[in-house]
Amino acid sequence: MADPVIITAAVVGAEVTRAQSPHVPYTPAEIAQAAVDAWRAGAAAVHLHARWPDGRPSQEAAHFREILDRVRAAGCDAVLQCSTGGAVGMGLEERLGSLVEGAEMGTLNLGTMNFGDEVFLNSRPDIVRVAARLRERGLVAECEVYDAGMLDTLRWLLAHGHLAAPYHVQFVLGVPGGLGASERNLRFLVEGLPEPAHWTAAGVGRAQLELAALALRLGGHVRVGLEDNLYLSKGVLARGSHELVARAVELARDAGRTPATPAEARRLLGLAP
Ligand code: KMH
Ligand code: ZN
C-alpha cells in the first residue's frame, strides 16, 4: 500500500507575472489567501515565495512573516516551506531572508544551471551554507533537483555530513536548461535516489499534471501550482493554484492514492507534529 500522497502547492514563484495570468498572487495577503485556498482544496504543504506589491520577487523576512502569520490566522495547518532559491540574480544572504520563525522546511537548491536565458547560481560552498542555515534553524531541507548530476551532489552532502535525514527530494523537471519532464527521466532519477528516498515531482509548464499522474503511479508525492504552470488545460488558465490542487486530488484518487493531511505529511517528512 503506497503512502498517502503529499500534495504541495507552489502558489507563486519568482518568474510568473500578472501579464501572463491575472490570477498570480503578489501581496502577502494574496499569497496567503492562495495558500489557504490550496490547502482547502487538498494541499498538505505549501511552497512559498514572496513578491513586492508591484510583482518583483522578494525574499524580505517581513513579507514571509506576514504570509505565514496570515496563513496560520486563517486556521490553515499546512506544512510551510519557504524558498531559499528566490530569484535568479539575488545574493545568497538575501535569499536566506525567507527563513523566518514559523517556517518548517526550506529549499536547498543542489546546483548551478541555466534557468531559461539566465543562470541560477548555486556553488557547492553556497549549497553547504544553505544546508548549515537550515540545520541551525531546525528546518527540514527540501532538496531541489533539476538535473541528474544534482543527485550526486546530494550524495556528496550526505557523505560529508552537510546533510542528514530527515530531508526530502523535489524533482523539478522541465525548466529550460534543466532535465526534461519525461517518464524516462523521472524513472532514472527515482532509481538513483539515496535512502531514505522520499520524493516529490514537479513538472514545469504543460507537463505539470502529466508528471503528477506519473509520480502518483511511481509512489512519489506531487507539487502543482502557479509557480510552475498557469494552465488547467490547453488554453484554460487556472483561476488559482487551488484548481490545480483539486485536479491533483482527482488524479490521486484515480491512482488509488489518498491525499495526505498536514499531520500525515509531517509524519512522512520527519517534521515535528
Ligand atoms: N526561482 C528559481 C530561480 C526554490 O524555490 O528554491 C528558484 C526556485 C527554487 O524557485
Ligand atoms: Zn520555488
Domains and CATH numbers, the chain: 7-269 (3.20.20.70)
Decide: 27 and 235 in contact? Cβ < 8 Å.
no
From 11, 98, 118, 120, the mutation candidate for ligand 1 (largest count of ligand atoms within 8 A of CB) is: 120
Question: Residue 211 has what pLDDT?
Answer: 98
Query: With 80 as the cut, is the pLDDT of residue 217 above it?
Result: yes
ipTM over the 0.90 cut-off: yes
Average pLDDT on 213-235 reads 98
Residue nearest to atom 9 of ligand 1 (CA): 85
Question: Residue 56 has what pLDDT?
Answer: 98
Residue nearest to atom 10 of ligand 1 (CA): 85
Question: Residue 195 has what pLDDT?
Answer: 87
Residue 233: all three cell numbers together: 488545460
Beta bridge partners of 143: 108, 169
Amino acid (one-letter) located at 8: T
Question: Residue 197 has what pLDDT?
Answer: 84
Beta bridge partners of 231: 237
Decide: 98 and 48 in contact? Cβ < 8 Å.
yes
Query: With 70 as the cut, is the pLDDT of residue 254 above it?
Result: yes
Average pLDDT on 179-194 reads 97
Q: Kindly list the protein residues whose Cβ atom lies closer than 6 A to any atom of ligand 1.
A: 13-15, 83-85, 87-88, 107, 109, 115, 120, 144
* Radius of gyration from C-alpha coordinates of the chain: 17
pLDDT tier, 1 (very low <50, low <70, confident <90, very high otherwise): low
Burial of 195 (0-12, 13-18, 19+ CB in 10 A): exposed
3-state secondary structure of 125: helix
Q: Which atom of ligand 1 is nearest to the CA of 14?
A: 1
Taking the C-alpha atoms of residue 211 and residue 70, their distance in angstroms, rounded to an integer, is 31
